Structure 1
Amino acid sequence: MKRIATEEATAVRCRVRSAIGGHPRAMREFESYQRLWERGIFTGISDVLVVAIDTNCSTFARTRTEIEEATQDQFRALLVTACPNPHIERWFMADLRSFHRVVGHRPALGTAKCERGYYKEHLKDAVRLGGHPQTLGGIEFASGLVDDMSLYRAGRADRSLKAFVDELRAKLRSG
């Protein structure tokens, strides 16, 4: 979000409301956030509301529809969905040239897999093979990878990433 906002010359302040617990918990947290906002627990409203949930081997369209159907009317115009297919770790490896520059190893991803944990393990292995100690499973490289990656190349490699980038960019431009 910060990278795209910078490219669009827009200031953003990101506030993460929930980042653990998987798909069911993310949906519960999103619904809870909306209820709390209705009750006045949160004051003001964001310009953009990003709901990010891995597709977990479902489809991008199905996951996006589930999020949209759980969105109350007052939030619809603000909504941007991020639905990594199948998992967020794949996005970090979407631009292999950049990944190699940042991590020091170029993983061989091959055909998209939807096995649980496949991309988590691939990311951890790539970090290890790049000569780095195992700390956070590769997620510690997220900021550097996002800053360095070609969003064009990454979007060509992963349509769910392209959909998020395009949707967020359009929302920021219209805001």
Structure 2
Amino acid sequence: MEANIRVVSFFEDVAQERLIGTLIDRIAEDAGVRQRRLRREARVAEPGARVHEQFESFVKQRSDELSGPDVVLVVAIDCNCRRRNERKRQLEDKIWTRPRKGKKVRAAHVIVPTEHVAFCLPDPHIERWYIADQHAFNDVIGAGAAPKLPAYKCERDYYKNMLREALIKAGIRPILGGAEYGELIAQKIDLEQLRKADPAFESFEEELRGALKLVSSGLS
């Protein structure tokens, strides 16, 4: 009997949880990991609080279990107009200790192989992924509902407002701002289209595939 793989995720908000959670299932299936082997667990950050501090607290609280050989850790936080590598480094510093010359190094929070961690960092915001594949959006919301995806724009709430307005025009009252359709859109979205729209997705996909295969082979 094959051992289960635990995918433990930290999401910045419910919009990420609904869309990325389903994308995790799709990537795992494409990587040859049977769905029955996946045990997905998620923590969604509380709104209005500093997400990086919440993530650090999450890592501290669950350090023992995150170190398990059966665990893949997914860290999902928007880039917010920062470069992916910069945002990734900030989050890595919440997990591992980096020695700094001439400075005392604090103990690492958790001993987890870097290869077991995948960083999902939508650039600039997760709402852009919701509308990245207009065919998928129209299939879920209705013909002609998808807004035209503009060139990359770094502006607070720009894509969030665009998603919300598109749903309102389609006659939908988006109580969760569109997150209520995240799972359905993720089931239909063309992954190649998403890779082209945001290279950050491709980076996440590669990291997750590698982590799943490594953990799977170690449990065989």
User: Which bin holds the TM-score, normalised by the shorter protein?
Assistant: 0.7 to 0.9
Instruction: Deviation per CA, 1:76-103: give whole Å up to 9, x if none.
Output: 3321101111111111111122112112
- Aligned with 2:62: secondary structure? helix
Instruction: Please identify which structure carries the higher strand content.
Output: 2
Give the aligned CA root-mean-square deviation in angstroms: 2.1
Which has the bigger relative contact order, CA under 8 A and spacing at least 6?
2
Q: 1:7 aligns with which of 26, 30, 34?
A: 30
Q: How does 1:119-134 map to 2 (within 5 A)?
A: 119-134=159-174
Equivalenced residues, count? 172
For the 8 Å contact 1:94–1:157, the answer to whether it is kept is: yes
Q: How does 1:104-143 map to 2 (within 5 A)?
A: 104=142, 105-143=145-183
Amino acid in the other structure paired with 1:71: I
For the 8 Å contact 1:37–1:43, the answer to whether it is kept is: yes
Instruction: Deviation per CA, 1:4-25: give whole Å up to 9, x if none.
Output: 2233342322222233337x73
- Distance in 1 separating the partners of 2:207 and 2:67: 23
Report the counterpart of residue 47 of structure 2 in structure 1: 21
Report the counterpart of residue 195 of structure 2 in structure 1: 155
The higher radius of gyration belongs to 2
Amino acid in the other structure paired with 1:118: Y
Report the counterpart of residue 92 of structure 2 in structure 1: 68
For the 8 Å contact 1:103–1:126, the answer to whether it is kept is: no
Report the counterpart of residue 103 of structure 2 in structure 1: none
For the 8 Å contact 1:94–1:155, the answer to whether it is kept is: no
- Aligned with 2:203: secondary structure? helix
Amino acid in the other structure paired with 1:139: A
Instruction: Deviation per CA, 1:114-133: give whole Å up to 9, x if none.
Output: 11111110111111223322
Identity of aligned residues (%): 33
Q: Could you list the runs of 5+ residues in structure 2 that have no partner in the other structure? A: 1-23, 97-109, 216-220
Amino acid in the other structure paired with 1:20: E
Instruction: Deviation per CA, 1:124-160: give whole Å up to 9, x if none.
Output: 1111223322321111110001000110111111111
Report the counterpart of residue 30 of structure 1 in structure 2: 55
Amino acid in the other structure paired with 2:86: R
- Distance in 2 separating the partners of 1:27 and 1:4: 26
Report deviation, 1:44: 6.8
